[in-house]
Chains A and B, each alone.
Chain A
Amino acid sequence: MASVSVPSEGVSRGLFRRPTATTGLWSWLTTVDHKKIGILYGVTSFAFFIVGGSEALLIRLQLAQPNQELLSPSVYNEVFTMHGITMVFLVVMPLSAAFINYLIPLMIGARDVAFPRLNAFSYWAFLFGGIFVYSSWFLGGAPNGGWFGYAPNAVLDPTRGMTFYAIGLLMTGVASTVSAVNLAVTILNMRAPGMTLFRMPVFVWMSLVVQFLLAFSLPIISVALFELLFDKRFGTHFFDSVAGGDPVLWQHLFWLFGHPEVYILVLPAMGIVSEILPVFSRKPLFGYQFVVFSGIAIGFIGFGVWVHHMYAVGLGPIANTAFGISTIIIAVPTGVKIFNWLGTMWKGDLTFPTPMLFSIGFVSMFIIGGLSGVTHSVVPSDYQQTDTYYVVAHFHYVLFGGAIFGLFAGMFYWWPKAFGRKLSEGLGKVTFWTMLVGFNLTFGPMHILGLQGMPRRIQTYPEELGLTFYNLVSTVGAFTIAVSVALFLVNVAMTHRKPRGEAADPWDARTLEWLTTSPPPEHNFDEIPTVHALDEAWHRKYAETEGGAVVPVPAGGSGLEAEYTGAHAIHMPSPSYYPLIASLGLFVFGYGVIFSWLLAGAGAVVLLAGLYGWALEPSAE
């Protein structure tokens, strides 16, 4: 990095000298580079994806036939609980975070996020939170009360599983809260000159909405998790009706977080698709402002629909009516998004490389999840469907057919940018079609199973209910999905044997990240671009004549590219040990709360030492 100058002078006040490794293990452990952190998020969450997917396969094996005893009820409860926790908190959230971390500074023309060390801390706290929850398998049993952890069942369960759940999710919650503030500040304060809010790519907008959703919803689940932890560990009675507590309190707190969480999971994927569809339609996004505003509207209304998870609780007809109507209302901005994506494809010049296939797959599968979601606003109809496999089908169409398809689209689309190599298109297309077929085989029949009387979270079912055929189909589908994921991994392995050398802009794309090299240098841009329009990169390549025809601009002819004036000092933040140390302290403290106050004290000391060293660390040595 010839252009990066690290001042070598400076008075050391920290506990350690700042680390300097730029390659190898230590460079990853101490990095504060948003791109490296993004890749760490991606690799970690994909590893968890494989684990959570394996848990799903175990569930499907157990349910393939009636009265099976492959998994005992206690193991089954642990497996389905861990599947949910993993996929929500350790896969879709951090995989979205991978994209947000990697892309936001590039898309807004910044060199890094606002607080690079805090960004590293977020990653390590998330990783340790995930490891913490998974370590419960070896320390007395995994969480077994469902990802939704309903009290009083979660409190009364004699194992430690749900204590691990509470503390582990508090850790990942710390990670997400910190990164929400970090990224919101980055987006609002660090945009390149000329990039007004309404010149931001839709992905940046959706990410911004997500950061606010996180910042406002995570404190709610944190309160609930603390209460659960106190009930389990210290004998309080927040959810114990006998002692004057209220079992429904947990549900209100959980779903007041849990519903915005759905949009936290799906809005980044919507942003990704809104970037990809225009590129492969060779048209701008249809109704940019409407897509942005509908995303913001979804963010707001998302805080007002939580009782549609609770119609059967007995809150009364007035509460159910109010939340039925709010659920109807949130369908409108969601529909607006879908119609605008269709409008983007309308009259385009469509090509179908893998990112486009996954994006169209996203739209077509998300419609199904959206429509079955509308049926949840029909409250009496939901009295039948709640807590059945119909709901399982619904949210998998939103979170797999939606979020995961969108994230796969993003991986295929930005892979050349991040690694300088394109994933194989042939294998990619096979991956897409296998996944689409497997996905629909797995989750399509679940609609019918639910309507025919299969409740959720049951370890087995009797033969006479007539549920066997579709359960078997669903199991076959699940293994088809597993094949598609394996194909993706083969693709990654093969691609990384090839040499780097992908062009800066292989897709003829529209946004700033394609202006810099693939992969980008540590400092992202040699010269911070000045932004003149939405889709700045496109406008540097093409101009519209008065008649509306599009003509290419000769290289350098737009007059917009600043001449690169050669090496000059770009100050980049130095790596640091402290984010890792502080999050390690949090990790040890977590075990201490369960096992020993001595251990908790040790964890607290490490955490405080990490924060102290962090505060006093010189900006560079």
Chain B
Amino acid sequence: MRTRTRWVWSLLSLAVVAAACAPNAQQDSLNPQGPYADKVYDLFVPVFWIATGVFVLVEGLLVFFAIRYRRRKGRPAQMPPQIHGNNRLEIAWTILPALILAGVAVPTVTTIFDLAREPEGNALEVNVMGHQWWWEFDYPAENVNTANELHIPTGRPVLLTLCAVGLGYEDKPTPSDCQVGPPDGDPPAAIGDGVIHSFWVPELAGTQDVLPGQANTLVIQADEPGRYSGQCKEFCGLSHAYMKFAVVAHSPADYEEWLRNEQADAVTPEPGSLAATGMDVFLNGQCIACHAVQGLEDANGNPVVANGGPNLTHFANRECFAGCWLPNDDADELGRWLDDPAAVKEGSWMPDYGLSPEEIEAVVAYLQSLT
């Protein structure tokens, strides 16, 4: 049967992919890049080969029986011996698979508890909040807040605390707000309306669902500097496909540098430049209703804080926006987004404010100046 040879071929190619890790595969669970992803991979590989062995055995028997016991051409119908069963065989093929499966269960259980353990030593703590349809990353100890790109140092475990949040909160939510029911009789209406997301960066760790009203944890770690692609895995509405993110791993020194830059206030554009015009549009329009730019003050002298949208303080230091779907350095894409967000990502909660082409050009220039 040709379909079987093709199957063998595709299984082999699977193994090849696992071994060679194709260069363009950036979100590949068969290409683990850190100890937590390694643990999962080291469990997957032996199970895969055991399954392949069973597959070959059973399909082989099926094909062999179909050929060996077929009624041959020209031979009349025969009545074969009427075998009703065999208790020894039944016991054998009950016990044997059970033993194999028990063998698989042992490393499975130890790995489950291994992965659930809190990391020892100097873990970096980051709060992850899933929005429709973008990711917020908050570093409470470092006082940094960013979106769609999670920057981490290599060789150091990162303890993520994750929860999903909705629109229209007053105070910046943290996962400690993610508890079922109103704490202290004070309803946390701040985090209403969230839907379930799922945080997945396969080269660094397995999946963790991101729920409204429940703080989950996940540990990730990268061995090598690099950019690791991630994506929301749980169907979360219209733009589910566009809810990507990236984990950017730096060497510890580079990470410290990134951190210092992120902690600084936003740069103020040269007066009279296009970017300065863009800043005026940004301040006087609706942008500051949702987006924070640290160091900026509105007309009443109040700081511009985030309220439902991504923090834009160091926007130009990130490579992607809109759920990491579009590149930050592409002025055309930024313009298209500002013109009508929902036309780019259906359902986007960012409204179309009817900015003129000139205003859009200025805001794009301002955003691209926010290094």
Given contacts A156-B193, A342-B61, contact A453 B112 (CB under 8 A): no
Q: Which one of B97, B188, B196, B216 contacts A153 once the chains associate, using CB atoms below 8 Å?
A: B196
Task: Write out the residue numbers on chain A whose beta carbons fall within 8 Å of the beta carbon of B325.
Answer: 462
Are A288 and B85 interface neighbours, CB within 8 A? yes
Check B29–A384 contact: CB distance below 8 A.
Answer: yes
Task: Tell me if A352 counts as interface (CB < 8 A to partner B).
Answer: yes
B202 to chain A, nearest CB (A): 6
Q: Is A550 an interface residue (CB 8 A)?
A: yes
Chain A residues near B191 (CB, 8 Å)?
242
* Cα-based distance from A226 to B244 in the complex (angstroms): 34
Is there contact, CB below 8 Å, between A290 and B85?
Answer: yes
Within 8 A of A (CB), among B224-248: 229, 231-242, 244
Asked whether B105 is an interface residue with its Cβ less than 8 Å from the other chain, the reply is: yes
Q: Is the CB of B28 within 8 A of A347?
A: no
> Which chain B residues lie closer than 8 Å to A258 at the CB level?
none
Q: Does A284 reach chain B (CB closer than 8 Å)?
A: yes
Chain B residues whose C-beta falls within 8 Å of the C-beta of A352 in the assembled complex: 66, 70
Stretch of B36-44, B147-155, B271-279, B296-304 with 4 or more beta carbons under 8 angstroms from chain A: B36-44
Query: What 0/1 pattern do residues 323 to 345 of A give for CB contact below 8 A with B?
Result: 01100110110011011101101
Q: Are B207 and A321 touching (Cβ within 8 A)?
A: no
Known contacts A283-B82, A368-B55, A386-B207, A448 near B112 by CB under 8 Å: no
Residues of B within 8 A of A157 (CB): 237
**Which residues of chain A come closer than 8 Å to B112, judged between CB atoms?**
317, 320-321, 324, 379-380
Distance in angstroms from B116 CB to nearest chain A CB is 4
Select one of B39, B70, B233 contacting A387, CB under 8 A.
B233
Asked if A364 and B62 make an inter-chain contact with CB atoms under 8 angstroms apart, the answer reads: yes
Find residues 353-407 in chain A having any chain B CB closer than 8 Å to their own CB. 360, 363-364, 367-368, 371-372, 374-375, 377-388
- A328's partner among B104, B212, B236 (CB-CB below 8 A) is B104
Residues of B within 8 A of A145 (CB): 235
Chain A residues near B86 (CB-CB < 8 A)? 286-287, 343
CA distance A135 to B244 in the complex (A): 34
* A440 at interface by CB-CB < 8 Å: yes
A289 contacts which chain B residues (CB < 8 A)? 85
Within 8 A of B (CB), among A288-323: 288-290, 312-314, 316-317, 320-321
Contact A287:B85 (CB < 8 A) given known A72-B346, A244-B180, A466-B22:
yes
Interface presence of A248 (CB below 8 A)? yes
A289, chain B: closest CB distance, angstroms: 8
Closest chain-A Cβ to B15's Cβ sits at a distance in Å of 11
**CB-CB under 8 A for A459 and B241, given A286-B84, A350-B69, A381-B43:** yes
Q: B85's contact among A343, A381, A440, by CB below 8 Å, is which?
A: A343
Cβ of A618 within 8 Å of any chain B Cβ, yes or no, is: no
Q: Is A42 an interface residue (CB 8 A)?
A: no
Whether B207 contacts A387 by the Cβ 8 Å rule is yes
| CB-based contact B84/A440 at 8 Å | no
| Alpha-carbon gap, A248 to B6, bound state (A) | 41
B253 interface contact, C-beta 8 A: no
* Residues from chain B with Cβ under 8 Å of A199 in the complex: none
Looking at B88-96, B254-262, B308-316, the stretch in contact with chain A turns out to be: B88-96
Q: Known contacts A335-B93, A342-B58; decide if A451 and B14 are in contact (CB<8 Å).
A: yes
- Checking A153, A241, A332, A363 against B214 with a beta-carbon cut-off of 8 angstroms, the contacting residue is A241
The minimal Cβ–Cβ distance linking A319 to chain B, given in whole angstroms, is: 10
Q: How far is the CA of A349 from the CA of B66 in the complex (A)?
A: 10
Question: How far is B13's CA from A448's CA once the two chains are assembled, in angstroms?
Answer: 9
> Is A573 part of the binding interface, using a Cβ–Cβ cutoff of 8 Å?
no
Is B113 a contact of A380 with CB atoms below 8 Å?
A: no
Check if A336 sits within 8 Å of B90, measured CB to CB: yes
Output the least CB separation between A331 and chain B (Å). 6
Return the chain B residue nearest A154 by Cβ. Answer: B195
- A247 proximal to B (CB < 8 A): yes
CB-based contact B104/A286 at 8 Å: no
The smallest C-beta distance from A441 to any residue of chain B, in angstroms, reads 8
Asked if B182 is at the interface (CB within 8 A of a chain A CB), the reply is: yes
In the complex, whether A575 has a CB less than 8 A from a CB of chain B is no
Q: Is the C-beta of B80 less than 8 angstroms from some C-beta in chain A?
A: yes
Q: Decide if A460 is an interface residue (CB 8 Å cutoff).
A: yes
A228 to B27, CA, bound (A): 35
Chain A residues within an 8 Å CB radius of B98: 332
Known contacts A282-B79, A343-B89, A383-B206: A350-B71 contact under CB 8 Å: yes
Residues of A within 8 A of B79 (CB): 282, 349, 542, 549-550
Instruction: Report if B264 contacts A (CB, 8 A).
Output: no
A residues near B115, Cβ cutoff 8 Å: 317, 380, 383
Contact of A74 among B54, B182, B196, B238 (CB under 8 A): B238
Kindly list 7 other residue pairs between chains A and B, CB separation below 8 angstroms, not including A150-B235, A246-B213, A377-B104: A242-B193, A288-B85, A289-B85, A317-B115, A342-B62, A377-B101, A466-B24
Closest 8 CB pairs of A and B: A241-B213, A383-B206, A453-B27, A458-B241, A314-B216, A550-B79, A287-B85, A317-B116
22 A-B pairs with C-beta separation under 8 A:
A150-B234, A152-B195, A281-B80, A282-B78, A314-B211, A314-B216, A320-B112, A328-B104, A339-B93, A342-B65, A349-B77, A364-B62, A377-B104, A379-B111, A380-B112, A381-B43, A437-B2, A448-B14, A451-B29, A452-B25, A453-B26, A458-B241
